[in-house]
Structure 1
Amino acid sequence: MHSVSILSALLAIGAGVVSGATTCTSDIKISEPTPIIDCDVVDADVVVDENLSGSLSIEGPKQFKKDFTVRNATKLIGISSSSINSIGGTMRLEGLQLLSSLNMQALKSVNNLQLINLPQLSGLTFGTSGVTKCSSITITDTFINDLSGLNIATADTIDISNNAKLTTFNSDLVNVTQSLKLTNNGNTMQVNMSRLQTAGDVQFRQVKSFDAPVLSQVESIKFNDSPELLSVSANNLTSISASLTFINNKKLSNVSFAALTTIKGDMTIQNNTALQSVEGFPNLKTVGNILLGGSFQKVKLDSLKDVQGSVTVTSTTDISSFCKFFDDAKSNNNIRGKESCTSNNKNANQGNGSGGTSNGGKNKEDAAGIVSVNTALLGLAVFAGIAQML
């Protein structure tokens, strides 16, 4: 009798039916478009058979405590549920070539949301208030043009990349503890993060604008390879615990960090050909290393008191007056490492610090040593830029 019960249960699972319990504790494989899962809570992994086609509708369960995985079901066109309100593990939808509808009307909480390689999915439906709790979000290679279904205040990691139709990111995020990446989406993506206060590693690529008026602390900020980016301001930001980077943003003409006092790592501004002046850092006092290369007409860092490493500055124009500022800072031991500042360098936007006119009278280091140090610093910056593009 006992063996018959076990056999009946196994047959029920194979047919997409789980019965007789408030909480299900055995893994479930869904192989029918309208499975009967007769329990409020599924404390087990739920996997959808990759051969399932048409529209999948899951009704009944309120919570999936572990993972919900739909992968390589290339004939599936829709996923819906009006009952599931939370997923305690990972919700992973990947390689669903025909999926065009995701409608989870009751879903409010997902621990880890992964939407990967969904070329037909253009939007998310997560009910009136949307998903309000999620620690990790990955959305990449989709047709999504609207993320209004995500209303997250705090997250650990967010990676939104290669979504060609996504041109706006309006977010209520307050805190991103580890990393925020918005890369290679719509070429004119506008980023509005009006409530963001703190963040870890922030990376942007191919964005047009960035607005984070209350951002006060961040680990690092990188704006690279954004041909339509015109200006960046974060005027409430006071401290960057790692690096600040602007590389290859050909239309960037204004950078403003009015309250910034400390960059503990590198400050790199290189090959932004429309940036005529670097003067948006009026309160910057402490920097790890400085690498500036471009077509600057004016460079102004009046509050700078301590560069813990090296300074390399080069421009296609004559910046001799500002080079004197750096020479004096080196003489006064405000720059602890090497210092080099050159004008009229035709290669200043190509990562080459040599070839210009030296403007230093007080820095008497060996010329070969200067070139070696500059080449190393600029080489590192180029390597960093390449690594961020990979």
Structure 2
Amino acid sequence: MRLSSRFYLFTSFTAWSVVIAGATPAVCGAPEYIIETQNDLDVLSNCQVVNGSIIMNTSSATSLNFNRIETITGDLIIRNNNYLASVALTSISSVGGELRFEKLTRLASVYAPQLANVGQLTMRILPNLQGIRFDKGIKKAHKLTIEDTQLSTLAGISLNTTDTMVIVNNNYLREVDMPYLESVESKFYVSYNAREISVTLPRLKTVGDMTIQRVAHLQLSNLEEVKGFLGFLNSTLQDISCPNITRIGQSLFFIGNQELTSLNFKQLESIGGTFMIANSAALAQIKGYDKLKTVAGSIDFTGNFSSVELPKLRDVKGGLNIQTTSSDFTCPFRQSDGIIKGKSFVCRGSVDNPRQSKESSFDDDDFDELLGNGTIKGSKNSTSPVKQSGAAKVDSRPFRLVTFFLVLVSGFAHLL
């Protein structure tokens, strides 16, 4: 519904009539309100509850103030504006649908001191956004996407549970601190933010798929179950510790973590897909898997390590590929012991150029077709220098390799 002066008179009369009659809050109902200016928004100034959605698709407005509105039952979408510098959601406490700020190239601040609940929070392609004021704290959101901003912190966003959390291409973001987050049902991705970023999730117990990429500090001490895959890529982490995790539903992989020296997954018993470690030059020993019994896919380790310790491992349904440059390496498996069920069996040291299994080979076109717009490696529309500039470029080929491999092996491990 496009707002007009005639609608303004009707809405004002209706809203104030309700207030005078003593029935509050004043409710304005229409499936959709289309706004272009602050004057359009002022038409709703007497509405405490908007029973519908408010949408700004294109505009030249430089600021927006949502006045007395407290609740929006539908979506609040503001996008495609090259002039908008600030948005004030002064009284809004709840957005039942999606709260979306997208492609607002000059937006510098969002002020929402009362906001606590949103159905979905999306902040994408906001290259000048440095400040968000969620003073009360957003505690409920089914999906959170923060992409291509100048935010240095997510203070004010403190979820307990969510379905999806994607935080990518924020070059100034130095921390993701979610002290009360306990579960992520579907996907958790942190990738291509500030190189020194710290990810702190002290209460997280369960997650669907989780990818941690280019991270310096990590806290996952209470993680117990990963229903999908778990991956750590191109990070400067020296230690990766998930001491309470017992099960990973799909694959576990460590790729391109050049400073990694130790792993602690001492309670892990099963991996539902492939177990891969590659391009982690400082990792001298592969250990910390005291209770690992089964791997439903393959094992693929390449690097400079001198030993592999998997003392309880009894069943690998896929193949084995262990290659290391170390001359001190002794293979802990024998093809005749029956642990490795797959057809391929490579396990040796003193290898000049350790290679990952041929089963994971593919080209870039295959990868691009597989991932579509490539959420983890960056959006097509992203303005992030990480994607466009060579100065901050991170080698994505290990991630290309492992992503294709994971999808392939997860579906066909039983055929190996």
Q: TM-score range by the shorter chain?
A: 0.7 to 0.9
Matches within 5 A, 1:1-390: 10-13=4-7, 20-21=14-15, 22-26=26-30, 27-33=32-38, 35-37=42-44, 38-48=46-56, 50-128=58-136, 130-171=137-178, 172-218=180-226, 219-226=228-235, 228-288=236-296, 289-318=298-327, 320-321=329-330, 323=331, 325-327=332-334, 330-338=335-343, 339-348=345-354, 352=355, 374-377=357-360, 385-386=399-400
Change in Cα spacing, 1:336 to 1:389, as seen in structure 2 (3 Å) is: closer
Question: 1:51 deviation in Å?
Answer: 2.2
- Residue-by-residue CA offset, 1:179-219 (whole Å, 9 max, x unaligned): 00000000111111101010010001110121111110012
Q: Which residue of 1 aligns with 2:374?
A: none
- Could you give the per-residue CA deviations for residues 220-254 of structure 1, whole angstroms, max 9, x where no partner exists? 2111122x222110001011010111011111111
For the residues of structure 1 that align with 2:132 and 2:10, how far apart are their CA atoms? 26
Aligned residue number for residue 368 of structure 1: none
* Alpha-carbon spacing, 1:162–1:388, altered in 2? closer, same or farther (3 Å): farther
Tell me the CA shift for residue 151 of structure 1. Answer: 1.0
Q: What CA deviation, in whole Å up to 9, does each residue of 1:64-97 have, x standing for no partner?
A: 1111111112111111122211111111111111
Q: CA deviation at 1:54?
A: 2.4
Using the TM superposition, give the Cα deviation of residue 378 of structure 1 relative to its aligned residue in structure 2, in angstroms: 6.2
**Equivalent residue of 2:333, what SS?**
helix
- TM-score of the pair, normalised by structure 2: 0.80
Mark the CA change 1:378 to 1:231 in structure 2 (over 3 Å): closer, same or farther.
farther
Deviations 1:132-188 (CA, angstroms, capped at 9, x unpaired): 100001110000111011010100000000001101111121000000000000011
SS for the counterpart of 1:25 is strand
Q: Which runs of 5+ in 1 are unaligned?
A: 1-5, 354-373
CA gap 1:340/1:14 in 2 versus in 1, 3 angstroms: farther
What amino acid sits opposite 2:126 in the alignment? L
Percent of matched pairs sharing the same residue: 28
- Is the CA contact (8 Å cut-off) linking 2:234 and 2:256 kept in structure 1? yes
Which structure features the higher share of strand residues?
1
Distance in 1 separating the partners of 2:276 and 2:29: 53
Residue 186 to residue 383, structure 1, CA distance change in 2 (3 Å): closer
Residue by residue, what CA displacement relative to the aligned partner does 1:79-135 show, whole Å, maximum 9, x if unpaired?
11222111111111111111111001111111111101111111321123x111000
Q: Is the 8 A contact 1:123 1:147 kept in 2?
A: no
Closer/same/farther in 2, CA of residues 332 and 151 from structure 1, 3 Å limit: same
Q: 1:311 to 1:379 in 2, by over 3 A?
A: farther
Deviation at 1:319, TM superposition (A): 5.0
Aligned pair in 2 of structure 1 residues 319, 19: CA closer, same or farther (>3 Å)? farther
Q: How many residues align?
A: 355
- Superposed displacement of residue 62, structure 1: 1.5
Inter-partner Cα distance in structure 2 for 1:78 and 1:18:
26
Instruction: Give me the TM-score of the superposition, normalised by structure 1.
Output: 0.85
Larger radius of gyration: 1
Q: Secondary structure at the match of 2:144?
A: strand
Structure 1 letter corresponding to 2:37: E
Deviation sequence 1:290-347 (CA, Å, 0-9, x none)? 10000011211111111111111000112552x1x211xx312121113210211111
Q: Contact 2:57–2:77 at 8 Å: present in 1 too?
A: no
Contact persistence 1:14–1:29 (CA under 8 A)? no
In structure 1, how many angstroms separate the alpha carbons of the residues matched to 2:5 and 2:269?
Answer: 66
Which consecutive residues of structure 2, in runs of 5 or more, have no partner in the other structure? Answer: 16-25, 368-395, 405-416
Contact 2:84 2:104 (C-alpha < 8 Å) held by counterparts? yes
Contact 2:37 2:59 in 1 (8 A): no
81-90 or 21-30, larger mean C-alpha shift: 21-30
- 8 Å contact kept, 1:113–1:138: yes
Aligned partner of 2:14: which letter?
G
1:364 corresponds in structure 2 to none
Which is worse superposed, 298-307 or 11-20? 11-20
